[in-house]
């Protein structure tokens, strides 16, 4: 039944539409989840049969889900109900806040909890990708009937983020192993996401029928099957279609440089599309630039000079070229392997020599053979592509060797399908991008990095052993490796979150230390204090006060009690120094003193002895008998955590920002920098490393940057970052995939060669 408009209350909310929208969304989502949950039993049983040593965990998981099925369904529905109620109240809850741990204690979230949260976020990402268009409409329409609120992915009560939190909450009380828990959440992607998409579409249509923002255009429907993408999900197909419709980064810059050469190509680029015609024109222009870079000679004369024979040598056929390349692919020569590790030798020239010399293995005479023009173009472009990638990326040692082994297979791809250079979603190009991402900066320091490199080695080994002329292997290997890389990235996210937690704890510890230091200075500096009193204040009391601030904050009652004790001890010291005789020293403060000494690890007897020493010391001061002052008994060693050292040498603020030389405009820019932004840091040896803004301190407003492994990399204030800009140690990060970035380098080199030829 279609929804119908109803009266609107004083806050602009249409109560009737909200109630009917809730019935059309929350209940169906809960029912869909219950249906999906009922299917997990069979799926877990299938997993158990092939789980090996984890079989028992999966069988236990099956029993646990059966036992708690009603509770799981109830918890899922409860979160969605609560989220919807927040929408109706006019203050929609944030899914991130609901999922995140808001505790201020120093305890860290368990690995299982972090993994579960990340799996829930991955589920939300899958829903968002599959339902992006209809969700954009629902955000607007639900916000409108709720009183013209602005909803986003984090606040839509039935959106992917809240569904992910609901799934996380549903299984939160279940006793499941981490492996089983992640599998269960992963199963939701398979069994729940299609049903969720149908609920969204049905709700959107009903709201349109009710006249809610009918001017918003209809969402794009499901894609028609594409034979070229057999085996892909609709989500992946849609992403690929979107990517194909956009211009590669290198092509856009190349178009600017080739302005005036091809009017049709310029028009295609300005429209932002890359159809077959535009791709062909772009490739033609690229080969034209390649020709000009060779000194303005014709292609034929140029190739004749590079070939080992004369003008009448027979060009090798494509079949012969592919056969020779297959030989080099399975067993690269020692000279080719050496060229991969040598930055001074051109891979393109080495490859052309190797192809001609290897022709003898097919019974050909190298002296009577030459390369066909199109084949030499392919070798030149791929060779330069890998030259740039190996030179400009952080690829050393084994990573460099593995990426270098791909050059021959990619020459074969270029011969078979030139669209690799202009089609962003080409399977070979996608595989190269993910492999380069895994290899870059991977020194194998951690177990995760070593596992990643082992997977890269496996993929490269399979490619060089199995690739003939069927490009499907690139798609298969890319999908397998991307799944593996997603697991690795989840570990990186855990490392990154731990880095933020540790940094937060360190800053709160430093704040507590500073407060304690100020309180001590107010009471001790410039005063004559007996050694026992001084030792008590600077050691047990200081530690107790610091930990109290750390646990409760500066506004907590614990700090007030600690300060009252310090003032009481100092007040009695003042009375003793005025020679007041016969007072029962520290009697009123004995329970508080006992608590302080106990907090540093002293047993009750030792704590009593320490309090007696303070009593006797005050009595000696009152009697003007310094010889009778006592020392505190040996105190347990108490060491607070030391501040972390930055990987990048920090620029410390001294006396405020007036002592730093920086551009205030730069500092203001950094203050507005969103979390997730990447910057390029340059050390004193001009080595570049990318750092991601992971967290902004609510205490000091300093920024925490992590490297690509999620490890704490640099902590700096906006002013310090502005100084680094002035010193040339920080710059904007250019986020391009490995293939596009290398192609930009190829264009630069071709332009340089062209300029040299024209000079």
Q: 689-746 pLDDT, tens per residue?
A: 788 898 888 888 889 998 877 878 788 889 889 888 888 888 887 666 788 888 888 8
> Given this model, what pLDDT does residue 636 score?
84
Averaged pLDDT, 655-661: 52
Q: Does 612 score more than 80 pLDDT?
A: yes
Distances (CA, A) of 144 to 158, 290, 671: 15, 56, 33
What band does 7 get if pLDDT is binned at 50, 70 and 90? low
Element (H, E) at 380: helix 373-392
Q: Does 391 score more than 60 pLDDT?
A: yes
> Given this model, what pLDDT does residue 563 score?
93
Rounded to 5°, the CA angle 605-606-607 comes to 90
- Contact by Cβ (8 Å): 429, 423: yes
- Round to whole Å and give the CA distance between 638 and 538: 12
> Given this model, what pLDDT does residue 6 score?
44
Cβ atoms within 10 Å, residue 692: 18
> Given this model, what pLDDT does residue 28 score?
94
Which residue, 470, 425, 434, is CA-closest to 232? 425
What 8-state DSSP symbol labels residue 544?
H
Give the rounded percent of residues in the chain with a pLDDT score beyond 90: 20
- Round to whole Å and give the CA distance between 167 and 164: 5
Cβ atoms within 10 Å, residue 296: 11
- Round to whole Å and give the CA distance between 110 and 95: 20
* Tally of CA atoms within 13 A in the half-sphere of 460 that contains its CB: 24
Classify each residue of 112-151 as buried b or exposed e, where b means 16 or more C-beta atoms within 10 Å of its C-beta: eebbbbbbbbbbbebbbbbbebbbebbbebbbbbbbebeb
Q: Does 195 score more than 70 pLDDT?
A: yes
- Contact by Cβ (8 Å): 294, 758: no
- Round to whole Å and give the CA distance between 276 and 256: 20
> Given this model, what pLDDT does residue 489 score?
79
Q: Does 415 score more than 60 pLDDT?
A: yes
Lowest mean pLDDT among 308-312, 336-340, 354-358, 442-446: 308-312
> Given this model, what pLDDT does residue 73 score?
93
The ranges assigned to domains in the chain are 15-209, 284-470, 504-628, 657-728
Element (H, E) at 719: helix 718-726
Which pair of tokens denotes residue 649?
């040498």
Q: Which residue has the higher pLDDT, 421 or 236?
A: 421
For residue range 51-98, list pLDDT tens digits in order: 777 788 888 889 999 999 999 999 999 999 999 999 888 888 888 777
- Contact by Cβ (8 Å): 546, 516: yes
Averaged pLDDT, 684-688: 69
Averaged pLDDT, 640-666: 53
For residue range 333-369, list pLDDT tens digits in order: 676 766 666 666 678 888 888 888 887 777 777 677 7
Q: Does 474 score more than 60 pLDDT?
A: yes
Rounded to 5°, the CA angle 422-424-429 comes to 95
Which residue, 476, 498, 326, is CA-closest to 416? 326
State whether CATH 2.30.30 applies to domain 657-728. Answer: yes
For residue range 561-584, list pLDDT tens digits in order: 999 999 999 999 999 999 888 788
Element (H, E) at 315: strand 314-315
- The length of the chain is 759
Lowest mean pLDDT among 158-172, 209-223, 379-393: 209-223
């Amino acid at each position: 039944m279609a929804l119908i408009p109803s009266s609107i209350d004083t806050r602009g909310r249409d109560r009737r539409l909200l109630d009917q929208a809730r019935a059309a969304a929350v209940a169906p989502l809960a029912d869909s989840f219950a249906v999906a949950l009922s299917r997990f039993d069979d799926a877990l049983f299938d997993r158990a049969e092939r789980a090996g040593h984890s079989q028992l965990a999966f069988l236990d998981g099956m029993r646990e889900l059966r036992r708690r099925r009603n509770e799981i369904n109830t918890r899922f529905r409860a979160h969605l109900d609560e989220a919807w109620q927040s929408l109706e109240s006019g203050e929609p809850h944030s899914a991130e806040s609901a999922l995140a741990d808001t505790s201020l204690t120093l305890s860290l979230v368990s690995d299982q909890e972090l993994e579960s949260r990340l799996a829930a976020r991955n589920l939300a990402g899958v829903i968002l990708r599959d339902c992006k268009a209809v969700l954009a409409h629902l955000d607007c329409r639900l916000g409108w009937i709720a009183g013209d609120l602005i909803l986003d992915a984090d606040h839509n009560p039935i959106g992917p983020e809240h569904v992910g939190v609901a799934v996380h909450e549903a299984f939160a009380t279940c006793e499941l192993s981490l492996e089983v828990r992640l599998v269960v959440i992963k199963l939701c992607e398979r069994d729940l996401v299609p049903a969720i998409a149908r609920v969204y579409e049905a709700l959107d249509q009903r709201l349109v029928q009710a006249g809610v923002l009918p001017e918003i255009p209809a969402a794009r429907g499901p894609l028609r099957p594409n034979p070229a993408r057999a085996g892909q999900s609709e989500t992946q197909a849609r992403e690929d279609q979107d990517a194909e419709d956009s211009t590669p980064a290198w092509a856009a810059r190349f178009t600017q440089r080739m302005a005036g050469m091809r009017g049709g190509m310029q028009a295609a680029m300005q429209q932002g599309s890359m159809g077959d015609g535009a791709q062909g024109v772009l490739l033609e222009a690229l080969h034209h630039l390649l020709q000009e870079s060779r000194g303005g000679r014709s292609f034929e004369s140029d190739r004749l000079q590079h070939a080992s024979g004369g003008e009448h040598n027979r060009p090798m056929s494509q079949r012969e070229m592919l056969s020779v390349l297959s030989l080099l692919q399975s067993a690269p020569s020692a000279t080719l392997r050496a060229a991969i590790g040598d930055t001074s030798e051109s891979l393109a020239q080495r490859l052309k020599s190797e192809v001609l010399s290897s022709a003898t293995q097919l019974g050909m005479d190298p002296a009577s053979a030459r390369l066909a023009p199109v084949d030499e173009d392919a070798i030149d472009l791929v060779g330069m592509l890998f030259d740039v990638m190996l030179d400009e990326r952080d690829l050393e040692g084994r990573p460099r060797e593995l990426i270098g082994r791909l050059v021959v297979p990619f020459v074969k791809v270029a011969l078979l399908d030139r669209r690799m250079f202009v089609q962003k979603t080409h399977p070979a190009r996608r595989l190269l991008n993910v492999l380069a991402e895994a290899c870059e900066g991977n020194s194998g320091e951690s177990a995760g990095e070593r596992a990643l490199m082992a997977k890269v080695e496996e993929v490269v080994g399979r490619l060089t052993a199995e690739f003939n002329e069927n490009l499907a292997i690139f798609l298969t290997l890319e999908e397998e490796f991307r799944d593996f890389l997603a697991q690795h990235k989840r570990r990186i996210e855990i490392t990154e979150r731990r880095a933020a937690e540790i940094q937060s704890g360190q800053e709160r510890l430093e704040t507590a230390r500073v407060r304690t230091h100020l309180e001590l200075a107010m009471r001790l500096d410039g005063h004559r204090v007996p050694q026992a009193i001084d030792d008590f204040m600077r050691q047990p009391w200081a530690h107790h006060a610091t930990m109290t601030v750390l646990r409760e904050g500066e506004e907590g009652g614990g700090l007030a009690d600690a300060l009252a004790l310090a003032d009481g001890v100092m007040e009695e010291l003042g009375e003793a120094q005025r020679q007041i005789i016969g007072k029962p020293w520290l009697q009123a403060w004995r329970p508080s003193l006992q608590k302080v000494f106990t907090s540093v690890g002293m047993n009750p007897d030792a704590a009593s002895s320490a309090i007696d020493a303070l009593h006797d010391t005050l009595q000696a001061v009152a009697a003007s008998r310094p010889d009778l002052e006592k020392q505190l008994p040996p105190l347990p060693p108490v060491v607070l955590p030391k501040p972390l050292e930055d990987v990048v040498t920090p620029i410390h603020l001294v006396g405020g920002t007036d002592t730093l030389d920086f551009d205030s405009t730069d500092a203001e820019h950094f203050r507005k920098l969103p979390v997730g932004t990447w910057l390029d840091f340059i050390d004193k040896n001009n080595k570049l490393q990318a750092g991601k803004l992971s967290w902004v301190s609510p205490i000091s407003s300093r920024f925490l940057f992590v490297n690509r492994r999620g490890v704490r990399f640099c902590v700096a204030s906006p002013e310090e970052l502005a100084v680094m800009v002035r010193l040339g140690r920080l710059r904007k990060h250019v986020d391009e995939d490995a293939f596009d970035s290398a192609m930009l380098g190829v264009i630069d080199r071709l332009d340089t060669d062209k300029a040299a030829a024209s000079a």
